[in-house]
Every structure is written in C-alpha cells, then in structure tokens.
Amino acid sequence: MSDTLQLTADGRLRHLLSIEGLSKPLLTDILETAEQFANSRNSRGRKFPLLHGKTVVNLFFEASTRTRMTFELAAKRLSADVLNLQIAASSTSKGETLLDTLKTMEAMQVDMFVIRHEASGAAHFFAQHAAPEVAILNAGDGRHAHPTQALLDMFTIRRHRPDFSKLTVAIVGDILHSRVARSDIHALRTLGAKEIRVVGPRTLIPAGIEDMGVTVFNDLDSGLKGADVIMLLRLQKERMVGAFLPSTGEFHRDFGLTRARLAKLPPEVLVMHPGPINRGVEIEGDVAYGERSLILEQVEHGIAVRMAVMAMILGEDTRFAGTARGDSERSTMDGRAGAGQ
C-alpha cells in the first residue's frame, strides 16, 4: 500500500512513509542528492532557497532528539518556515484527534508534516487524509518504519563501503520492537547487500523474519563472524509488555558489544547504532565513541539525507543542491536552478 500512496504516477516521491516499495534507482537518487548537500562547502550555516515560502510542521508524539532536530535543521537549511507543535501543550491533551489536528494545521497552509507517533500506520493515516498538495514524512511509527533513519544509515555505509554487493551486515539486539531494523532490512535488500543477519535472543527476534531475506543468529560471536558492518539496536524497554529478558546485565553479557569482543574482529569492521544508546547494555561507552564507530557520522548525515528527501518532494529542482544562496551568480531567490545547471 505504501508504494502506491507514497509515489506519484510517474514514480517520484510524493510522501515518504516506508522504504518498502521504493526502487533501487529511487533510493540511489535520494542518496546521491544527499551527497550533493553533504558535499556542498556551504552545507553548514548558509541556506539553500529550495523550500523558500514553504511551511514544514514537526509533529512528534514520541520523544526524539536527533530525528526532530535534524529534520528542523534540514528544513531551515532549505529556507522553509518550521513550526514545532509541542504535543503536551497542544489541544491533543484536550482530546483533539489526529485527524482533527491534521485538518487544523492544514488550514494554516502547511506544505509538509513530519510525524512521529507510537502507532504503527500513523504516517499512512495522515497521508491518506492529507490534502493533495500536502506531503507527509514518517519520522518513525510504532514498530513499523523509520525510513529516514534507514536512508541515513545507507548513506553512512555507502561512504565507507560503496559496494553493497560485497557487504555482510549484522543487525544486533532488540529486533522485535525495532522499526529501524525493519527499514534497514528493506533498504539493504533493495541496495543488494550480500548477506543480512539479525542477531539476538530468541525472545527479541520476530517469528517469520526469515521471510524478509535475513539469516537469524541467536549467538553473538557466530553472528558477527565475517560481518563487515555491525548495526546495534537499543533495547526498547518502553515497547516491552512483559518480560523479554532475564536482566539487562545478562543481555549485555550475551549480546553487548564490548571492547574485548570488538578486539577479536577485523579492524575494518564498522560499528553503527541509530541512537539513543543504552550505555553498558547493547554497547560499551568506549566502543560507541571509539575509532570504529560511525554513530556521530550517522547523526550528521541525517541532516543531508533529510534535506534530500524534503527537496525531492517539495523543491522545484534538486540540481540546485550544489549551490547555496549567495554562493553563485546563477542562484535565484525562488529556488530554481539557473540556466546551465
């Protein structure tokens, strides 16, 4: 359903709800557009006028640090006006429904909503009910999808290991509750990763996940053997109803990435984590900020990737990505590329 809802008739992005259903050429196009933004010598500070005159609203019904802030930075660097609805202080607390919140904000002539919600399918719901000129970006819905996280993860991997066909990727930890894992698996498959592994205790691996084209490991050392990239996941205690683990200490002993464990792996292995981390649970603090960790690169790349997605949906011409306002005689205030670009 997402592919028909999130793509235009000619296959361009209309909304971004899920990685599922996006083609390899489209994913590659997003990553290459993000490269343009990331490589621009003006990507820090100065603005691109692609979304000048557009209004973007961040609606985060769940907590977030990096996703919300990098969406806001991305929109501002594209010259959009950005509003952040403070959910706890909004009329949601008086019982206003999601649909009525959408319609109310649409009346303010909003062009794009970035939504995070605890319910799987919330972004789809918004997209189904949004006015034709309004775009919806999914910033994480329940256990379902976190598409921009997967895109920034692919962007980060590609910068270090451009050939996905040679990659074995081990996704480790709480697979069951993870929207990041689902979106990363779809993205890795679409980009042609050689092998995708999920590694964790039986209680945290969803039944039937092999159907997504992954291999399951319940032993960390076996799962990491031969892996090029290790993607660790946070234990999502807020989504756990009942006891999934004897203790976090036991999880750390069996599935935590420690310096000692990492020292046994080849030095070129890359370590990733979408954040926020549980220090001393799925990862030791020294490993999180050690020389093999890409965690802070992932955060930084979130800005360029989110700029790319927003510009591809709302911008007039992403060929403009290499030129910031005032950076070239050919730049124009309305966001259109100058002649010859």
Question: What are the residues binding ligand CP (CB under 6 A)?
Answer: 64-67, 140, 149, 274-276
What's the min distance (Å) between Cβ of 129 and ligand CP?
A: 24
Q: Classify 226 in phi/psi space as left (phi over 0), alpha (psi -120 to 50) or beta.
A: left
Angle between helices 179-190 and 24-39 (to 10 degrees): 100
Residue 31 is encoded by which pair of tokens?
A: 């990553």
d(C-alpha 36, C-alpha 337), whole Å? 14
Report whether the peptide linkage leading into residue 266 is cis, meaning its omega lies within 30 degrees of zero. Answer: no
Question: How far apart are alpha carbons 191 and 26 in whole angstroms?
Answer: 10
How far is the C-alpha of 236 from the C-alpha of 277, rounded, in Å? 10
Q: Counting every residue, how long is the chain?
A: 341
The CB-of-17 to ligand CP minimum distance in angstroms stands at 16
d(CA 90, CA 58): 13
Residue placing its CB nearer to ligand CP in the complex, 298 or 331:
298
Q: How far is the CB of 69 from ligand CP (least distance, A)?
A: 8
Cβ partners under 8 Å of residue 118, min gap 6: 61, 62, 142
Q: For ligand CP, which is the closer residue by CB, 201 or 275?
A: 275
Task: Give the nearest distance from C-beta 298 to ligand CP in angstroms.
Answer: 8
Instruction: Provide, rounded to whole angstroms, the least separation between the CB of residue 312 and ligand CP.
Output: 21
d(CA 300, CA 14): 25
Tokens describing residue 110: 């909003």
Furthest C-alpha separation in the chain: 64
**d(C-alpha 302, C-alpha 298), whole Å:** 6
Q: How far is the CB of 39 from ligand CP (least distance, A)?
A: 23
Which of 134, 103, 133, 136 is CA-nearest to residue 122? 136
- Measured from the CB atom, the residue of 201 and 274 that comes closer to ligand CP is 274
Cβ nearer to ligand CP, comparing 201 with 302 = 302
The residue (of 233 and 313) whose beta carbon lies closer to ligand CP is: 233
Residue 2 or 67: the one with the smaller Cβ distance to ligand CP is: 67
What is the rounded CA–CA span in Å between residue 179 and residue 263?
29
Residue nearest to ligand CP (CB): 67
- For the CB of residue 238, give the shortest distance to ligand CP in the complex, in Å: 11
Comparing CB distances to ligand CP, the nearer of 52 and 77 is 77
Minimum distance between the CB of residue 68 and ligand CP, rounded to whole angstroms?
Answer: 6
The answer to whether the CB of 74 falls within 8 A of the CB of 47 is no
Minimum distance, C-beta of residue 320 to ligand CP, in the bound complex (Å): 28
Nearest-angstrom CA–CA distance, 41 and 46: 9
N- to C-terminal Cα separation, the chain: 36
Residue 276 or 326: the one with the smaller Cβ distance to ligand CP is 276
